[in-house]
Amino acid sequence: MVAPLPTCNKEEQRSLIRVLRSEGVKPTEIHRRMEVQYGDACLLLQQVYEWSKKFLNGVSSVTDSPRPGQAHRVVTPEAIAAVEVIVKENRRVTVHEIAAHLDMSHGSAHHIVHDVLQFHKLSARWVPRQLTAELKERRVDACQELLKRFEAEGDGFLGRTVTGDETWVNYHQPETKRASKERRHTSVPKPKKFRTQPSAGKVMLTLFWDERGVILEHCIPRGNSVTSATYADLLKNHLRPAIKSNRR
């Protein structure tokens, strides 16, 4: 029984190709024998043909020849320090600009930025607004007051808590491809669904709810700005009557 070789490398397999090809063995037979010994690590049949042709043309080396067009990477401490200074001065600088400024290849600049210095591009995280120190203190005070009431009143306090949020709602929202799935036999042709876009018209929908469900749905037409006055009017003239009506 033939025992497969536990380890191998490309040079070893190429040496075997050279010996067997010198004995007149065809590339297909060489590949069949190598598969028995090397298994999944065996070279492809196309590679066996390529190296067989090289050895017949007089090539004796089994190692890869250096690529003349390959970029030479200039990875020196001085180059790394220079790239780091450029990146810290301009966080949006491109690899092409770094390479042109330091007169190095694009591959060397990319290697230094990504592999050596471990710089990666990150998008800014969107936040609703920039809070001042005073606004942050107000939010901390409000949260502490809510925690104190919860400690004093327990779950009953949560049952009386109403919260709200806003979102844009289009007049027409097209059905998604997933929602349009139907149960059919495989022999029946697939139904067609034409691509549609959400309508341009939309309104700002404000929802208020508690633990029992939605209390109020209020729409603000597009073009109307939400100010403190309009929001106070919403709480006083819409939310309060809804709470009295829906949560007696």
pLDDT digits (tens, 9 = 90+) for 92-123: 899 999 999 998 888 889 999 998 899 988 88
Distance from C-alpha of 59 to C-alpha of 82, rounded to nearest angstrom: 43
Count of Cβ atoms closer than 10 Å to residue 152 Cβ: 9
168 falls within a domain? yes
**What tokens does 24 get?**
């007149």
**Residue 193 confidence class, pLDDT cut points 50, 70, 90:** low
Predicted TM-score (pTM) of this structure: 0.39
Together in a domain, 50 and 83:
no
What confidence category does residue 129 fall into, taking pLDDT thresholds of 50, 70 and 90? confident
Residue 48 lies in a domain: yes
Residue position matching structure tokens 């060397």: 108
Query: Region 124-147: what's the mean pLDDT?
Result: 87
Tell me the pLDDT tens digit for each residue of 215-248.
Answer: 999 888 777 777 888 889 889 999 999 998 888 7
Instruction: Indicate whether 20 and 86 sit together in one domain.
Output: no
Number of domains in the chain: 3
Residues 212 and 241 in one domain: yes
Which is higher by pLDDT, 112 or 199? 112
Q: Give the pair of three-digit tokens for residue 141.
A: 């005070």
Does some domain include residue 240?
A: yes
**Is the domain of 112 the same as that of 31?**
no
Domain for residue 239, yes or no? yes
Same domain, 167 and 219: yes
Read off the pLDDT band of 83 (50, 70, 90): very high
> Do 167 and 224 fall into the same domain?
yes
In the predicted model, is pLDDT for residue 66 greater than 70? Answer: no
Averaged pLDDT for residues 143-152: 92
Rounded Cα distance, 173 and 244, in Å:
33
Whether 170 and 228 share a structural domain: yes
In a domain, 106, yes or no: yes
Q: Are residues 49 and 87 in the same domain?
A: no
Do 82 and 50 belong together in one domain? no
- Indicate the DSSP class of residue 6: S
* Beta carbons of 165 and 207 less than 8 angstroms apart: yes
Alpha helix (H) residue ranges in the chain: 10-22, 27-38, 45-56, 77-89, 95-102, 106-110, 133-153, 155-159, 228-234, 240-246
Same domain, yes or no: 50 and 97: no
Is 131 part of any domain? Answer: no
User: When comparing pLDDT for 126 and 136, which is higher?
Assistant: 136
Query: Does 238 lie in the same domain as 167?
Result: yes
Residue 33 belongs to what domain range? 10-56
Q: How confident is the model at residue 208 (pLDDT cuts 50, 70, 90)?
A: very high
Same domain, yes or no: 167 and 231: yes
